[in-house]
Copies of this chain bind each other. A is one copy, B any other.
């Protein structure tokens, strides 16, 4: 590809030592004499040498990269996660190999096997919906440490980092209960996605603990986008009595619901309470500011990267399951029910 890339041999020739010596200089070995080191360093600079890590990795049978596979960076949650991963990996001298699946298991197959050919030291994978753990194991092999993020896979010889969806949703629901709500919907998300199931479960836990039966018509599905959520607002009000509050699948849905409520002349934070999930930056500046469950995806990214580095350094470690706690952030979109 290149006209000519400068190599160890060029430097060695240029200052009349052996390749081995130059290599020792590069790695700051105490073996080389001060004078020689000076001479070699000058030549390195003169010729504009750049280290070839691939060659070194090949010889040493090591790797200095970690693969990161997510659905889609345009989802801010994953973008933040990726930023956290890259930050930590970079600080440890590793480089991030990026791949995205777009929620397609087929593309996930392709991406994983391509990335795997680059022999990453480890893989951080947020699996596409409906992934088959055994199949994925077949693709990446048993060598490479994998950390699964966000969605559990059936066959789990792998590290797993999850948000505590269930407890997070439970906290949001309990908060609404404390404010005096009794008719609390769960709004948005696809019921067949695992994160939605878990959040619904947390919602159910809280209601059950309060001795309140769950009405199926208060479980409303919608695609997890603002627009779709806004369009589904009406579904909450088809039957009497309507709910007085909704725990939303995530912030996008919650913001959409607030739009939908406004359009019906119902003021969120006054006539109806709304909670979100994720605490995206907008949540703090919406009108009203959104009460939500913070997951801090950037910190999760750092955590994932740290764990995978740990695994790389100590391959004998036993896979573990980590549940990141999700904390409630109370703002203005939740209030006591009207006529309370």
A binding-site residues for B, Cβ under 8 Å: 1-3, 5, 48, 50-55, 57-58, 61-65, 68, 72-74, 76, 79-80, 82-83, 86-87, 90, 93, 95-100, 111, 113-119, 121, 138, 141, 143-144, 226-227, 230, 256, 259, 262, 281-282, 284-285, 287, 298, 312, 315
In angstroms, Cα B78 to Cα A73, docked, is: 9
A97 engages B96 (CB within 8 Å):
yes
A230-B63 contact in complex given A73-B83, A76-B76, C-beta closer than 8 Å: no
A100 engages B95 (CB within 8 Å):
no
Residues from chain B with a CB closer than 8 A to the CB of A259 are: 285, 287
A1-B114 contact in complex given A74-B79, A98-B82, C-beta closer than 8 Å: no
A119 engages B285 (CB within 8 Å):
no
B115 engages A87 (CB within 8 Å):
no
Residues from chain B with a CB closer than 8 A to the CB of A287 are: 259, 262
Sample 12 A-B pairs with CB under 8 A, ordered by A number. A1-B62, A1-B143, A1-B312, A52-B58, A72-B83, A73-B83, A74-B83, A76-B79, A83-B100, A90-B111, A95-B115, A227-B284
Residues from chain B with a CB closer than 8 A to the CB of A226 are: 281-282, 285
In angstroms, Cα B113 to Cα A93, docked, is: 11
A86 engages B65 (CB within 8 Å):
no
Residues from chain B with a CB closer than 8 A to the CB of A256 are: 285
A5's closest neighbor in chain B, by CB?
Answer: B143
In angstroms, Cα B53 to Cα A65, docked, is: 13
**Residue picked from A97, A259, A284, most chain B C-beta under 10 Å:** A97
A311 nearest CB across to chain B (Å) = 11
Residues from chain B with a CB closer than 8 A to the CB of A5 are: 61, 119, 143
Residues from chain B with a CB closer than 8 A to the CB of A284 are: 227
A253 nearest CB across to chain B (Å) = 12
A58 engages B55 (CB within 8 Å):
yes
B95 engages A97 (CB within 8 Å):
yes
A67 nearest CB across to chain B (Å) = 8
A50-B116 contact in complex given A73-B86, A230-B285, C-beta closer than 8 Å: yes
Q: A65-B118, A74-B76 given. 20 additional CB < 8 A pairs?
A: A1-B62, A1-B143, A3-B143, A50-B117, A50-B141, A51-B117, A53-B119, A54-B118, A54-B119, A72-B83, A82-B98, A90-B99, A90-B111, A93-B114, A95-B97, A96-B97, A96-B99, A227-B285, A230-B285, A259-B287
A46 nearest CB across to chain B (Å) = 13
In angstroms, Cα B143 to Cα A48, docked, is: 11
A59 nearest CB across to chain B (Å) = 10
A256's closest neighbor in chain B, by CB?
Answer: B285
A62 nearest CB across to chain B (Å) = 5
A133 nearest CB across to chain B (Å) = 17
